[in-house]
Amino acid sequence: MALPALTLSLQFARFDGVAEHRAALPRSFVARCLRHALDREAELTVRIVDAEEGQALNRDYRARDYATNVLTFDYATEPLVMADLVLCAPVVAAEAKKMKKPLAAHYAHLLVHGALHAQGWDHETSEADAEAMEARERQILAALGEPDPYARSRHARKV
Protein backbone atom coordinates (compact mmCIF):
# COMPACT_ATOMS: atom_id res chain seq x y z
CA MET A 1 0.00 0.00 0.00
CA ALA A 2 1.38 3.38 -1.01
CA LEU A 3 1.56 6.00 1.70
CA PRO A 4 -0.15 9.34 1.10
CA ALA A 5 1.80 12.28 -0.26
CA LEU A 6 2.92 14.79 2.33
CA THR A 7 4.10 18.37 2.06
CA LEU A 8 5.98 19.00 5.30
CA SER A 9 7.38 22.12 6.91
CA LEU A 10 9.51 21.21 9.94
CA GLN A 11 10.36 24.13 12.21
CA PHE A 12 12.38 24.43 15.40
CA ALA A 13 12.05 27.46 17.65
CA ARG A 14 15.21 28.78 19.28
CA PHE A 15 15.58 27.50 22.83
CA ASP A 16 18.16 25.95 25.12
CA GLY A 17 18.66 22.30 24.26
CA VAL A 18 17.16 22.48 20.77
CA ALA A 19 20.05 20.39 19.37
CA GLU A 20 18.84 17.29 21.25
CA HIS A 21 15.38 17.68 19.72
CA ARG A 22 16.75 18.30 16.22
CA ALA A 23 18.78 15.10 16.57
CA ALA A 24 15.71 13.12 17.64
CA LEU A 25 13.63 14.50 14.77
CA PRO A 26 15.36 14.17 11.42
CA ARG A 27 13.02 15.27 8.63
CA SER A 28 12.82 11.74 7.18
CA PHE A 29 11.72 10.33 10.57
CA VAL A 30 9.03 13.00 11.02
CA ALA A 31 7.73 12.46 7.48
CA ARG A 32 7.67 8.68 7.93
CA CYS A 33 5.69 8.91 11.19
CA LEU A 34 3.19 11.33 9.70
CA ARG A 35 2.71 9.49 6.40
CA HIS A 36 1.94 6.26 8.25
CA ALA A 37 -0.71 8.10 10.29
CA LEU A 38 -2.38 9.74 7.30
CA ASP A 39 -5.15 8.23 5.24
CA ARG A 40 -4.98 10.94 2.55
CA GLU A 41 -2.67 13.59 1.13
CA ALA A 42 -1.63 16.30 3.57
CA GLU A 43 0.11 19.62 4.01
CA LEU A 44 1.46 19.77 7.56
CA THR A 45 3.67 22.09 9.54
CA VAL A 46 5.40 20.60 12.57
CA ARG A 47 6.85 23.16 14.97
CA ILE A 48 8.97 22.26 17.99
CA VAL A 49 8.69 24.97 20.66
CA ASP A 50 9.82 25.85 24.17
CA ALA A 51 7.57 25.82 27.25
CA GLU A 52 6.75 29.53 27.01
CA GLU A 53 5.42 29.31 23.44
CA GLY A 54 3.67 26.01 24.17
CA GLN A 55 1.92 27.47 27.20
CA ALA A 56 0.89 30.64 25.35
CA LEU A 57 -0.64 28.65 22.49
CA ASN A 58 -2.46 26.27 24.84
CA ARG A 59 -3.77 29.20 26.90
CA ASP A 60 -4.79 31.32 23.92
CA TYR A 61 -6.42 28.58 21.84
CA ARG A 62 -7.62 26.02 24.40
CA ALA A 63 -8.02 28.17 27.54
CA ARG A 64 -5.63 25.85 29.41
CA ASP A 65 -2.80 27.77 31.03
CA TYR A 66 0.01 25.23 30.87
CA ALA A 67 2.35 23.80 28.27
CA THR A 68 1.11 20.50 26.86
CA ASN A 69 2.94 17.92 24.76
CA VAL A 70 1.18 18.37 21.42
CA LEU A 71 -1.35 20.79 20.00
CA THR A 72 -3.08 20.23 16.68
CA PHE A 73 -4.50 23.12 14.70
CA ASP A 74 -6.55 21.54 11.92
CA TYR A 75 -7.70 23.71 9.04
CA ALA A 76 -9.09 21.21 6.52
CA THR A 77 -9.59 17.48 6.18
CA GLU A 78 -10.90 17.31 2.60
CA PRO A 79 -9.74 17.00 -0.08
CA LEU A 80 -6.44 17.02 1.76
CA VAL A 81 -5.46 17.34 5.41
CA MET A 82 -4.09 20.77 6.32
CA ALA A 83 -2.84 21.33 9.87
CA ASP A 84 -0.16 22.62 12.18
CA LEU A 85 1.25 20.34 14.89
CA VAL A 86 3.02 22.09 17.75
CA LEU A 87 5.13 19.94 20.05
CA CYS A 88 6.51 21.39 23.27
CA ALA A 89 10.07 20.10 23.58
CA PRO A 90 10.50 20.40 27.38
CA VAL A 91 7.19 18.63 28.03
CA VAL A 92 7.98 15.86 25.53
CA ALA A 93 11.45 15.38 27.03
CA ALA A 94 10.12 15.26 30.61
CA GLU A 95 7.44 12.74 29.67
CA ALA A 96 9.91 10.53 27.79
CA LYS A 97 12.25 10.57 30.78
CA LYS A 98 9.42 9.76 33.20
CA MET A 99 8.28 6.87 30.98
CA LYS A 100 11.89 5.71 30.53
CA LYS A 101 11.62 5.71 26.75
CA PRO A 102 13.80 7.24 24.06
CA LEU A 103 12.93 10.80 23.11
CA ALA A 104 12.44 9.81 19.45
CA ALA A 105 9.94 7.08 20.42
CA HIS A 106 7.84 9.56 22.37
CA TYR A 107 7.99 12.03 19.49
CA ALA A 108 6.83 9.26 17.13
CA HIS A 109 3.78 8.68 19.33
CA LEU A 110 2.94 12.37 19.54
CA LEU A 111 3.39 12.93 15.79
CA VAL A 112 0.99 10.06 15.10
CA HIS A 113 -1.40 11.35 17.78
CA GLY A 114 -1.36 14.86 16.33
CA ALA A 115 -1.83 13.61 12.77
CA LEU A 116 -4.86 11.61 13.85
CA HIS A 117 -6.34 14.71 15.49
CA ALA A 118 -5.75 16.59 12.22
CA GLN A 119 -7.94 13.98 10.50
CA GLY A 120 -10.79 14.33 12.97
CA TRP A 121 -9.96 11.67 15.56
CA ASP A 122 -10.79 12.81 19.11
CA HIS A 123 -10.14 11.03 22.39
CA GLU A 124 -12.00 13.56 24.53
CA THR A 125 -15.50 12.99 23.11
CA SER A 126 -16.18 9.56 24.64
CA GLU A 127 -14.49 6.49 26.08
CA ALA A 128 -15.29 4.60 22.88
CA ASP A 129 -13.61 7.31 20.77
CA ALA A 130 -10.60 7.29 23.09
CA GLU A 131 -10.27 3.51 22.80
CA ALA A 132 -10.61 3.65 19.01
CA MET A 133 -7.96 6.36 18.73
CA GLU A 134 -5.63 4.51 21.08
CA ALA A 135 -6.04 1.30 19.06
CA ARG A 136 -5.27 3.17 15.83
CA GLU A 137 -2.17 4.74 17.39
CA ARG A 138 -0.96 1.31 18.49
CA GLN A 139 -1.50 -0.08 15.00
CA ILE A 140 0.39 2.75 13.31
CA LEU A 141 3.26 2.71 15.80
CA ALA A 142 3.61 -1.06 15.46
CA ALA A 143 3.89 -0.63 11.67
CA LEU A 144 6.64 1.92 12.32
CA GLY A 145 8.46 -0.51 14.63
CA GLU A 146 7.81 1.73 17.63
CA PRO A 147 6.79 0.46 21.08
CA ASP A 148 3.22 0.52 22.37
CA PRO A 149 2.93 3.87 24.17
CA TYR A 150 0.10 2.61 26.35
CA ALA A 151 1.67 -0.67 27.45
CA ARG A 152 2.71 0.60 30.88
CA SER A 153 -0.58 2.08 31.95
CA ARG A 154 -4.16 1.74 30.82
CA HIS A 155 -4.65 5.27 32.14
CA ALA A 156 -1.82 6.87 30.18
CA ARG A 157 -4.24 8.76 27.97
CA LYS A 158 -3.01 12.22 28.96
CA VAL A 159 -2.00 13.11 25.40
| Tens digits of residue pLDDT in 14-48 | 999 999 999 999 999 999 999 999 999 999 999 99
pLDDT band at 151 (very low <50, low <70, confident <90, very high): confident
117 is in an annotated binding site: yes
| Cα dihedral 31→62→74→39 (10° resolution) | 60
109 is in an annotated binding site: no
| 6-143: CATH topology | Collagenase (Catalytic Domain) (3.40.390)
Q: Is the per-residue pLDDT at 154 higher than 50?
A: no
Q: Are 44 and 74 in contact (CB under 8 A)?
A: no
Q: Are 95 and 17 in contact (CB under 8 A)?
A: no
Q: Is the per-residue pLDDT at 156 higher than 50?
A: no
113 is in an annotated binding site: yes
Q: Is the per-residue pLDDT at 109 higher than 90?
A: yes
pLDDT band at 153 (very low <50, low <70, confident <90, very high): low
